[in-house]
Structures are given as C-alpha cells and as structure tokens.
Amino acid sequence: MRVSTRGDYACRALLSMAIRDDRSKPVSVRDIAERTALPQPYLEQILLSLKGAGIVRSKRGVGGGYMLSREPKDIRLSAVVSAVDGPIVAGDFGQPHTDGACDHEGQCVLL
C-alpha cells in the first residue's frame, strides 16, 4: 500500500500524541510540529481532517490543543488514511494487490 504524504504525516502526528506520558491533556499543534519536524500549517489541516473523522478531539483556549479521542490500540491505519486521503479501495495497494486481486483476501488488516 502506498501512503501519501498526508497519510504519513497523520500517522506521525498520532504516534507523537500516543506516546506522550499524559494523553489526557491536549497538546498544541506547535508542540506536535516541533516533536515530529512537520510543517505546522500542513499539520493543522491534517489534524482538522482527523478531528472530522473522530480520531482526535480538540480543546480551545489557553492550554488547548488536540488529543486522541480513543485509545491508540483502537485506531486503525485504514481509518487514519481514509480520514486524510478519502476512502481506501481495493486496487490502491500495488503488489500483491494487482488487477483487484489480493493474495491475502479474507486476512487483510487494512480494510
């Protein structure tokens, strides 16, 4: 499966949020950008998409920012990629997914 830059950045941002000591407190976009070395304006757009998909939630005001809306173990890669890039369809994967066929049909963890 090929992951876009948006998908890659979304995964990095979520990982940064997931490994924090206190996940119950929001983290600012600036802090996430600094920890991940991602461009802040682009990261803001990505986090808004993740918020729209219910993967993260936000808190406004002083001490505000973003936090995961569920436990990290409950966030699927397919949900993250779909949130920032649109739906994943069979055939988007390249090898071993050629001509719409999957060598792992029935076992695929992506869909």
CA distance 16 to 57: 15
Answering whether pTM is above 0.85, one says no
Both tokens assigned to 69: 């809306």
CA distance 102 to 86: 21
Q: Kindly tell me if the per-residue pLDDT of 110 is higher than 60.
A: no
Q: Tell me if 79 sits within 8 A of 55, measured CB to CB.
A: yes
CA distance 10 to 80: 7
Query: What residue ranges define each of the domains in the chain, with the CATH number in brackets?
Result: 5-85 (1.10.10.10)
Structure confidence by residue, pLDDT tens digits, 51-109: 999 999 999 998 899 999 999 999 998 899 999 998 876 555 555 555 556 666 666 65
Among residues 80, 79, 85, 50, the alpha carbon closest in space to that of 67 is found at: 50
pLDDT for residue 78 = 87
CA distance 27 to 18: 11
CA distance 5 to 45: 13
What are the φ and ψ backbone dihedral angles of 83, each rounded to 5 degrees?
-65, -35
Structure confidence by residue, pLDDT tens digits, 8-45: 999 999 999 999 888 889 999 999 999 999 999 999 99
